[in-house]
Structure formats: structure tokens, C-alpha cells
Amino acid sequence: MNSLIDIQNLVFKYGPQLVLKGISFSLNGGEINGIIGPNGAGKSTILKLACGILHPTHGEIYVDGKPIHRWKRRELARKIAYVPQDTQVPFTFSVTEIILMGRTPYMGLMEFESQKDFQIAEEMMRLTDTLHLADRYFDQLSGGERQRVLIARALVQQPDILLLDEPTTHLDINHQAEIMELVNRLNREHALTVILVTHDLNLASLYCSRLFLIKNGELIKEGNPSSVLTPELIYNTYGYGTMIIEHPIKKVPLVTLQVPGDKNNREKE
């Protein structure tokens, strides 16, 4: 496997608040990598650092072997696309307008979209099943539709790496499945490397090749889902007892909460 992103001794502060405490790990190309952990662990901060929105306090991030600070902003936007957790857009735009914004890294100052830009946008709308939404206004869409549109906007950047911050938050189970199947198809059929932050341990187990468990700005464990999603690690990280069962088809671990008052949970307390 090729390491597309190397994170070395990464430290980050929001003012006096220490968010990341010397984290080091590598994210492989051709995989779906999942970053998991409790609220406030620093998961979303890692994504923002990896795409250049934030800058490390200390440490270094290498993208394709090159320090991230040596990438020009336009070049980095052609390499990495980022889909934030917040799907709100402050102004009223059509779906087509939103998606075409992703072509900005390929356009000059005051340059209008070319026929090629429209063709790429249409291709990505077909790929994400959003073409029928082309003339709709973004703020009129459902949560699942908005998420697919934002992924389409990221894809028109033609990146090698797609960063997704909580892509299934606030979605019902049907739309969660749609988004994750889309991500899986992009990885499998288009060789897109995906790094996603999620609170859903079971979706992470089902779709990610490797998981990175973060707590209080530190890397607790990395590896395949079976090595990361264990009752001991989950309890030590989240402070709650769980049971692990095996998915009957994919043979990956699935996490179930223990009922409050359960004997095993009381013993751990």
C-alpha cells in the first residue's frame, strides 16, 4: 500500500486549548480509512489539518511524500477534497451552481466555467444520483440529498483523496446506507482513497479497511476493525460496556450496547 498522507508528531492548539498531542500515523492509498472516537477527541481537526484548512502548531503532514505547507493551495485542492459535517449554505444556490463551485481549482481569476467543467459536473451528478436535482435549490433538499450534492461538488475537483466529516449525521438508516454505499463504490470502482470521521462504530466496521481510534487528542489504537473494536478498547475510550458480535455475512465486528445494570457492565464499573 502507498501512504498518501503521513502525519508525524502532530500537535494542534485552539488558542491555549491543546487538541492534538503529538499524533503520528499514516493513511494508505486505495482504502477507506475511518477515524473514530468520543466527542472532542480531535477527529474533525485532523481532517481540517489534512486538507490545509488549519495549520499544525507543531509536527508535519506529508501529502504524497511532500510537506503540506509546500503544496500550493490550488494544487492541494486538486489532490484532496473535503466534505464538511455542516451541510448548510448561507446563500440560495441551485444544485448545479453548488457542484460547479468544485471546479474552482481549475479556473483562472474571473474565468467562467467551460464546457469541460459542465461535462465533469454532469458526470459526477450521474455518479452520485443527483442529476435529477440539478435545477433544484440546495436549501430545499433533504439531508441525504444535500450530502450527495456536497460529495458531487467534492468529486468535480477530481481528487485522489476524499475527506468526509460525519457524512451520515442526522440521516435516517436508508440515507445512511445510500451514502456509505456510494462511498464504497467510489473507492472500489474509481480507486478513490477515502478518510472519514464517524461516530457510528458499526458503519465504520462495515465499510472501513482500517480504523484509527482517537481519545483526548491521542491515538489509542489503529488497525483493522477486529483489532480496534474490542470491548476493552471501547470501554476504556467511551466509558461504557459493550458486547461484540460477528456480522453474519461480512464477518466483521458489530458493537451492541450492554443494558444498564447488566452484570458484565457493573463489573467493569
Grid cell, residue 124, equals: 459526477
Predicted confidence (pLDDT) per residue in 68-112, tens digit: 999 999 999 999 999 998 877 777 899 999 999 999 999 987 788
Please, what is the Cα angle at 104 between 102 and 92, to 5 degrees? 60
* Rounded Cα–Cα distance for residues 12 and 187 (Å): 30
The pLDDT value recorded for residue 260 is 66
Is residue 268 over pLDDT 70?
no
Q: Is the pLDDT of residue 264 over 70?
A: no
Select the more confidently predicted residue: 85 or 217: 217
pLDDT tens digits, one per residue of 140-198: 999 899 999 999 999 999 999 999 999 998 899 999 999 999 999 999 999 999 999 99
Tell me how far apart the alpha carbons of residues 35 and 6 are, in angstroms, rounded to a whole number. 14
Measured from the Cβ of residue 149, the count of other Cβ atoms closer than 10 Å reads 25
Look at residue 265 and tell me whether its pLDDT is greater than 70: no
Contact 233, 220 (CB under 8 A): yes
Q: What pLDDT band is residue 266 in, cutting at 50, 70 and 90?
A: very low
pLDDT tens-digit map of 28-72: 899 999 999 999 999 999 999 999 999 999 999 999 999 999 999
The CATH class, in words, for 3-229 is: alpha beta
> What integer best gives the mean pLDDT of the chain?
92
Please give the Cα distance from 89 to 78 (Å, whole number): 22
> Are 18 and 11 spatial neighbours (Cβ–Cβ below 8 Å)?
yes
Domain ranges of the chain: 3-229, 230-269
Q: What pLDDT sits at residue 269?
A: 46
